[in-house]
A and B are shown apart, each in its own frame.
Chain A
Amino acid sequence: METFELLLHGFSVALQPTNLMWALVGSVLGTAIGILPGIGPALTIALLLPVTTALAPTSAFIMFAGILYGAMYGGSTTSILLNTPGEAGSMMTALEGNKMARAGRGAAALATAAIGSFVAGTIATLALTFAAPAVAELAFYFKPTDYFAITALAFCSVAVVMGTSRTRGFVSLFLGIAIGVIGIDTMTGQPRLTFGNMQLLRGIALTVVLVSLFAVGEILYVASRYRTTPGVMAPIKGQLWMTKQDFARSWKPWLRGTAIGFPMGALPGSGSEIPTMLSYTLERKLTKYPEEFGKGAIEGVAGPEAANNAAAAGILVPLLTLGLPTSATAAVLLAAFQNYGLQPGPFLFTSNPALIWGLIASLYVGNVMLLVLNLPLVGIWVQLLRIPRPQLYAGILVFAMIGVWGLAGSWVDLTIMLVVGLAGYVMRVYDFPIAPVLIGLILGPMAETQLRTALAAGQGNPLVLVSTPLSAIFITLAVLLLALPILLKRLRANA
């Protein structure tokens, strides 16, 4: 009951006209960047970080949350109409959605995506509302060894699952961890990998790396493969609403997608890609119309679209309650909290209830706004895709550089941006996944601190790392993840 009162209080914060306006700004911006391929919510929020000096924290986070949710809505539009995912989480949507659009059922695909996003977003926000305060109490039971085990599992899963080979995955991961080590070691105060450069003492900011990889690396890649013929956009045809049969075939995938997306989003390293893939695979197995899959099955749009929105809410659970970022977007949000001198974690619920509950309430408000923005107005949004690519990407590059300069006004940051951006381009060309770099950079310092704290508190005994039930389970899972595929291959070869 207490949660309900706090939530009502949150609504009184979220419904203030200024906060409503910021929610709208965030939703519009989020939808726009979701629609435009190549720009994601993490990059957008990173570029907007300098506004934190001018904006009250509650308003800023309400806007950021709108961007996070909006990107998941907008991403589906591009996937369906252009067959290019606007967002990593919309990759699976393109498979069936674009086929539907070409078969003249684009409107139904867009509708099931938007309504599915709304249903999933609302249910997942409800889950967040009631789970968050309980999870926050867990912070008092989780020990450093548990955190280390969680990060170790995240490292293994992200390196094994993402990308074309596990070698590439681990190379990316270790690159990220190495970048994370640069700067003053917080445990001893000693400089590491700074090469005597004073500017490097404060480390390389996540936002700089993120902007470099996503903006510079990605844009160089797109430019290097630019063809003057634009992609074929499927026209929006068919009824603007779903038929009865569409509904009957959509509602179960929506719920299943939510059930997969929310908990997966809360786990470190899975991001929004893995839950959407799982949801797609599940729908394909469960469908009564297997012959339609690959030719435009509505279940293949409904499930993944629900899953990516639920995952977006899921990442907020560990972020707000434990201060544990599980994706690049969450890590940028964490940086925003730190800009305000706020430390997400159990104490934020008691020390700053207006911010937390205002943010959660604004997620409900934002979901309604996004449904209105995306369902009837989709025709306006697709006009964004008519912006010529050269101008669009050049514009992003300029904004990225201004954004990086705005973070600290440092030439060193701009140099790092150039170097990391070029590295990002090379990685793209040779199929090295980007996500493990970011996970390594985000969770690496945390894994290291927790490992050293656990060992120091356990006076150097390595068994302390599996001394709690949770850590034993997670470390076992991580080892299995690494060893199982190899073992299976051996077994199969022997058989």
Chain B
Amino acid sequence: MNFTKTLAALAMTAALGTGAASAQVNVMLPAAPGGGWDGTGRQAFQALNDAGIYTGGVNFTNTGGAGGTVGLAEFLGTSTGQPDALAVFGAITVGAIALNNSPINLAEFRPVARLTAEYLVVAVAADSPYNTLADLVAAVKADPGAHPIGGGSAGGVDHIAVALLAQAGEIPVADLNYIPQTSGAETVTAIVNGTLTAGVSGTSEFAQFAEQGRIKLLAVTSAERRPNLPDVPTFHEAGYDVEIANWRGILAAPGAPDDNYATWVDNFTKLSQSDAWKAVLAAQGWEDYFLAGEEFGAFIAEETATQGQILKDAGLVN
């Protein structure tokens, strides 16, 4: 196995023309290069290095697909019991596991730290007759089928946010006409050309299109209004008891030795207080959403339960 890994590293180096330092920690990034998880992992280790918390070598592996479940399955196979093996994952993974009937059980992994979050916004076309979230919910309630709502992949956080909103507005979740879109930009296009009545996506993705005057933002899923969107009310203000975030975090391998696990929890706790990390958060527009160790484990268990229930209510999981 070690031999094949060496070969793999050699081939990668040859193909990419970049040198890989001897790795001391293996990090699984279960997404293609360039996405949010890829950025979270790479930026976190860059900041760990800049802040002098962890300056050893890092060996990243990108294995994308299926909300991170493909990468986590590979991580499970290669890293179980290893002392210094970490993986990035997030809210989307929780839903994807339930949806794909994936054999992965997040409780098997050791929870290191929850790092960042992004809140979601609901938007309609700039010339839409609906000006508040209540207007929209009332219209959807009257005829759910005729008011398609779009967002990210089925069972992802966008979909779950819509389902939670429907529950709060007493609309049967199974009646919703939710149409998944491949990207935030696609969602905006579909809202503007009238295919979708409304759409859901991350704040950073929709804010720019609202500035261009293509769409109106009706409400945001955070507890308080966002500093960069002072005019957009929260779901609570609009009268719906919904709060949800697209969070991202770090897991250690199942069966990782206690000493190493404690060191990594400690490293990321220090990271969360460092200036280097605060600079990364500001530059990337990510929310600080730090929670470490066993408390994070409890949070994952809670998310697994709520998301599983919602997906059942939406008729996506039996």
Contact = CB atoms under 8 A, between A and B. Distances in A.
Interface of A: 50-54, 139-144, 183-184, 186-191, 198-199, 201-203, 338-341, 343, 345-347, 350-351, 402-403, 405-406, 408-410, 449, 453-454, 456-457, 459
> Which of B12, B96, B185 counts the most chain A CB atoms within 10 A?
B185
A199 B66 CA distance: 10
A199 B64 CA distance: 10
B100 A191 contact: yes
Contact of A184 (B66, B177, B189): B66
Given A188-B316, A405-B11, A405-B15, A456 B154 contact: no
Contacts of A54: 16-18
B16 A53 contact: yes
B14 A341 contact: no
A459 B96 CA distance: 26
15 contacts: A53-B16, A54-B16, A139-B193, A140-B193, A143-B193, A201-B70, A338-B34, A341-B34, A343-B186, A346-B189, A347-B185, A350-B212, A405-B15, A406-B12, A410-B63
Contacts of B279: none
Given A198-B73, A346-B189, A453-B195, A351 B34 contact: no
A493 to B, nearest CB: 46
Given A186-B180, A351-B208, A406-B15, A456 B148 contact: yes
A406 B62 CA distance: 11
B154 A188 contact: yes
Contacts of B18: 53-54
B52 interface: no
Contacts of A202: 64-66, 70
A198 B11 contact: no
A201 B69 contact: yes
B15 A402 contact: yes
Interface string B234-260: 000000000000000000000000000
B58 to A, nearest CB: 15
A189 B68 CA distance: 12
B100 A184 contact: yes
Contacts of B35: 341
Contacts of B33: 52-53, 339
B23 interface: no
Nearest to A344: B185
A409 B4 CA distance: 11
Given A53-B33, A408-B63, A459-B146, 18 more contacts: A51-B16, A52-B33, A54-B18, A140-B189, A142-B193, A143-B194, A184-B65, A186-B153, A188-B316, A189-B67, A189-B316, A339-B32, A405-B12, A408-B62, A409-B8, A456-B179, A457-B148, A457-B177
A93 B147 CA distance: 54
Contact of B177 (A346, A351, A409, A459): A459
Contact of A457 (B61, B99, B195, B212): B195
Interface string B204-224: 000011001000000000000
Contacts of A406: 11-12, 15-16
A187 B156 CA distance: 11
A50 B185 contact: no
A51 B74 CA distance: 25
A189 B74 contact: no
Contacts of A199: 70
Contacts of A457: 148, 177, 179, 195-196
B11 A402 contact: yes
A144 B186 CA distance: 11
Contacts of B16: 50-51, 53-54, 406
B145 interface: yes
B55 interface: no
Which 6 residue pairs of A and B lie closest in terms of their CB atoms, listed nearest first?
A202-B65, A406-B15, A341-B34, A189-B99, A189-B154, A201-B66
A480 to B, nearest CB: 27
Nearest to A202: B65
Contacts of A189: 67, 96, 99-100, 153-155, 316
B195 A50 contact: no
B265 to A, nearest CB: 29
B300 interface: no
